[in-house]
Structures are given as structure tokens and as C-alpha cells.
């Protein structure tokens, strides 16, 4: 966990979004974000030396250059938490954004209150995707190779349930849950159950 004084940069040419970031930061008791109306100016500020912990990037910026710029930024500054704010119609790109190294993908139409919640979570070093209400992410679960039962167990795992609780829920033996859990870990290329849950959440599998 970082200190409460999270230093934030926002790259956006939208005054309303700039004000939203300011309000969210104030709500969290964080310093006033540094605002830049082009991606190049933001990159120059980030490259001038250490100082920023979090970068809010408006995906609509004309000079953003797509997610390749985000990927380069994340590679260059691994301690920087990158939050990509995308229009609702392009929110599916948040999955690709997380794969580039960004920690958060969220709709640009997000409220000040919700953005403040995201900043608090960022301060806890957490990663997340935020989808508009009633929007269903169209992710292909079949690509994981997980069976229906494994998907059910993975869903339960991501909800924080333990093997014993999962076994009781589905009326199966705990040893069976452990067997499925090993299979899930192997298919996702995870190190352990916690890592498997992280992979599932970051890639929209659940």
C-alpha cells in the first residue's frame, strides 16, 4: 500500500474529465492532479523524473497513438499505476489495456464518486476493470479450456470462497474441488489459486 498522498497525473483535453479527477482526488484527500491536454505533454512530465504514482489517461486523446503508447509507458515506468478511461462503446478494449500493463480500465463517463473509489483501490495496489451497468463483457471463456464445473469453481474462488465452502455449495467432495483447482491453475498457467483468481479477474474470464 502506498502513502495516502498519491500523486496523480491526468492526460485529457476534456475539461469536464479534468474537473472530475480533481474532485475525486479531493474526496480521497490526495494532492491536486497535474493536468495535461495532450499525451505528449503528459509523457514529457512523466519522463522528467520521479514524482507521479498514478496516470489517468483519456483514451480519446488525439495524439495517444493507441494502446502501444500505454504499453511503452508501462514498460518504461513499472512503478506507475496507469488508469485507462475509455468511452462506453470502446470499453471492451479495457481487456487489451490491462494486457499492456495498465492496472485499471474504466468508462470515461464514470462519476466522481466511482473515480474516487478507483483511486482508493489504486492506492492499495489493486487492479480492476469497471464496466457500465447492464453492459456484458463479450469475453470468450472457451479460450481458457476450462470445463463448466471448473468455471463454476473459478467463479467461487474469485468471490473469496474456500475449498470447503465450494464443495458444500456444489454438493461434491473437497478432494474433488482440489482436483479441479489444480486443473484450473494448470490451464491458466498460474502459480497458485490466488494467482489463478488474479488472472481470471484481469482477463475477464469471470
* pLDDT tens-digit series, residues 60-111: 999 998 888 888 888 888 889 999 998 877 766 777 777 788 888 888 988 9
Overall domain count for the chain: 2
**Of the candidates 143, 150, 202, 138, which has an alpha carbon nearest to the alpha carbon of residue 177?**
150
pLDDT above 50 (res 171): yes
> Do 94 and 165 fall within a single domain?
no
> Do 117 and 160 fall within a single domain?
no
In a domain, 189, yes or no: yes
Q: What is the pTM of this model?
A: 0.62
**Residue that the C-alpha cell 474526496 belongs to:** 27
> Do 111 and 160 fall within a single domain?
no
In a domain, 2, yes or no: no
> Do 86 and 113 fall within a single domain?
yes
> Do 73 and 49 fall within a single domain?
yes
> Do 26 and 71 fall within a single domain?
yes
Per the CB < 8 A criterion, the answer to whether 86 and 59 are in contact is yes
> Do 57 and 124 fall within a single domain?
yes
> Do 159 and 187 fall within a single domain?
yes
155 contact partners, CB below 8 Å, separation of at least 6: 206
pLDDT above 50 (res 138): no
In a domain, 109, yes or no: yes
In angstroms, the CA 202 to CA 206 distance is: 9
Per the CB < 8 A criterion, the answer to whether 83 and 118 are in contact is yes
pLDDT above 60 (res 2): no
Give me the numbers of helices (H) and strands (E) for the chain, helices first please.
9, 6
- Domain enclosing residue 42, as ranges: 8-129
Amino acid at each position: 500500500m502506498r502513502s495516502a498522498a498519491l500523486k496523480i497525473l491526468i492526460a485529457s483535453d476534456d475539461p469536464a474529465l479534468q474537473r472530475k479527477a480533481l474532485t475525486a482526488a479531493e474526496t480521497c484527500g490526495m494532492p491536486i492532479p497535474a493536468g495535461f491536454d495532450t499525451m505528449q505533454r503528459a509523457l514529457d512530465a512523466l519522463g522528467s523524473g520521479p514524482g507521479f504514482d498514478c496516470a489517468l489517461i483519456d483514451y480519446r486523446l488525439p495524439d495517444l497513438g493507441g494502446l502501444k503508447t500505454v504499453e511503452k509507458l508501462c514498460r518504461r515506468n513499472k512503478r506507475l499505476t496507469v488508469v485507462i478511461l475509455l468511452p462506453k462503446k470502446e470499453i471492451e478494449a479495457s481487456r487489451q489495456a490491462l494486457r499492456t500493463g495498465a492496472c485499471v480500465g474504466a468508462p470515461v463517463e464514470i462519476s466522481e464518486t466511482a473515480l474516487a473509489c478507483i483511486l482508493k483501490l489504486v492506492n492499495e495496489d489493486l487492479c480492476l476493470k469497471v464496466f457500465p451497468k447492464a453492459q456484458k463483457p463479450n469475453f470468450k471463456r472457451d479460450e481458457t479450456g476450462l470445463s463448466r464445473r471448473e468455471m463454476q469453481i473459478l467463479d467461487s474462488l474469485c468471490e473469496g470462497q474456500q475449498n470447503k465452502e465450494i464443495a458444500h455449495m456444489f454438493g461434491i467432495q473437497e478432494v474433488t474441488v482440489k482436483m479441479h483447482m489444480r486443473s484450473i491453475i494448470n490451464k491458466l498457467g498460474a502459480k497458485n489459486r490466488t494467482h489463478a483468481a488474479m488472472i481470471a479477474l484481469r482477463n475477464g474470464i469471470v
